[in-house]
Amino acid sequence: MKAHVITYGCQMNEYDTHLVESQLVSFGADMVDSVDEADFVLINTCAVRGKPVEKVRTVLGQLRKQKAQRPLVVGMMGCLAQLEEGQQMARKFEVDVLLGPGSLLDIGHALEANERFWGLQFKNELHEHIPPAPQGRLQAHLTIMRGCDHHCTYCIVPTTRGPQVSRSPDDILRELDMQLAAGVQEVTLLGQNVNAYGVDGGAKLAGYPSFAELLRMVGRSGVKRVKFTTSHPMNFTEDVAAAIGETPAICEFVHLPVQSGSDRVLRRMAREYNREKYLTHIAQIKRHIPDVVLFTDIIVGFPGETEQDFQETLSLYDEVGYDSAYMFIYSPRPGTPSYKHFQDLPRELKTERLQRLVAKQKDWSMRKNAGKVGTVQEVLFRGDAYTEGFLEGHTRGSHAIVAPKAVGADSAGIYQVRVEHATPHNLSGRILGPDGEPLPELPRFTPEAAAVTGALPMA
């Protein structure tokens, strides 16, 4: 069998895709790069917002046409598969395999069934499963917990992924050791609410470290860079900020979603904190990590949001000074309390507010990025950029950055880079050698240069 997986959504979905692909390979499947090559196409879905749901609907329609022309098995996994909305879609588009987020290890049974297979149960063995380390990659994700015990009124995650279940620290560290042995240099700890790790259903798990303690353990493992996402302000503690500040391997980067700057909207969202409490966390973070890079999530146009509520979000943005933000128009999702009980705002109003918030974010991102010009940043390069002759990567603070290829620098690796230019969205600079001076740039390929030197284009 030749298999191909299409992934939408969050980093947790990327991790789950790796888990399922490793299962497929263990069953003898060959992973291929395109739908057209595949006998089995599996879509890993997201149901948090309406846009990825519509993308899945479009792809399923295209795959149904292909099924009419050639032998093809179509599968759907992830959050949308767990919902009645997704199951109706699966019936309509003749999906053969349907796996919820808690049943990913059923993929082998599904392929052996030779008939429609729907696995939608939450199973504990998934939390104990350790996938093989990714090969040939410097970055890896590491899931430390699944599910969520909060019930924000706009969020479908507790329905699709169930209540919070923390993985055992032994399993986490064993998977980490495998990743380090495979050459991974940057690990991102994943969870719907990572900083609630070890406290499932409101109860502290015996023998489990706190999230801050787990961070320190991972930071002492020998890994060069540690990040984590996503946090909930209700579970954020000052000890987490202290762990970041005290542990060199933990990056000076915190993603702390606020969603709104208005206490009234936060109550309607059931976020369980207010603006003052959130700003207390920000003050703690800045005290322990003076050079912290702050990202957040903001939902624009939540039902009932007034212009005054929105102005409070804008003022919070200025008060915190975020480096960047993931900003979304509120998307009503069937099955959530806000969908059932609240009336949506006009799309035109939501779009106009989003445009104002984007302008605010661009202004702050430009200010923050401009402050990096002239500094030396540690950059993990992943490989070639879209522009020929350049490498692309990211700093410890998750800033996107590009630099010309240089003599003595591999296409993938961690290097020191002096930042020379900035835009609201990325940085650019030069790779430095051990003496702190820029390394000579490699000549960029042109047909004229090739004719003179006999050089071949760089891969």
Give the residue ranges of the annotated binding site for [4Fe-4S] cluster. 10, 46, 79, 148, 152, 155
Asked whether the beta carbons of 401 and 390 are under 8 A apart, the reply is no
Question: Residues annotated in the binding site, as ranges?
Answer: 10, 46, 79, 148, 152, 155
Phi, psi dihedral angles at 296 (to 5 degrees)? -150, 175
The residue whose two tokens read 């991972």 is 218
Residue 434: partners with Cβ closer than 8 Å, 6 or more residues away: none
Read out DSSP for 116-155?
A: -EEE----THHHH--PPPPSS-SEEEEE-EES-S---TT-
Asked whether the beta carbons of 43 and 75 are under 8 A apart, the reply is yes
Rounded to whole angstroms, the Cα distance separating 204 from 119 reads 31
User: How is the chain split among helix, strand and coil, in percent rounded to 5?
Assistant: 40, 25, 40
For residue 247, whether the previous peptide bond is cis, meaning omega lies within 30 degrees of 0, is no
Count CA within 13 A, CB hemisphere, residue 436. Answer: 3
CA geometry: angle 99, 102, 103, nearest 5 deg: 45
Rounded to whole angstroms, the Cα distance separating 445 from 292 reads 39
Rounded to whole angstroms, the Cα distance separating 23 from 80 reads 21
Rounded to whole angstroms, the Cα distance separating 389 from 374 reads 22
Closest CA to 205 of 241, 250, 169, 175: 169
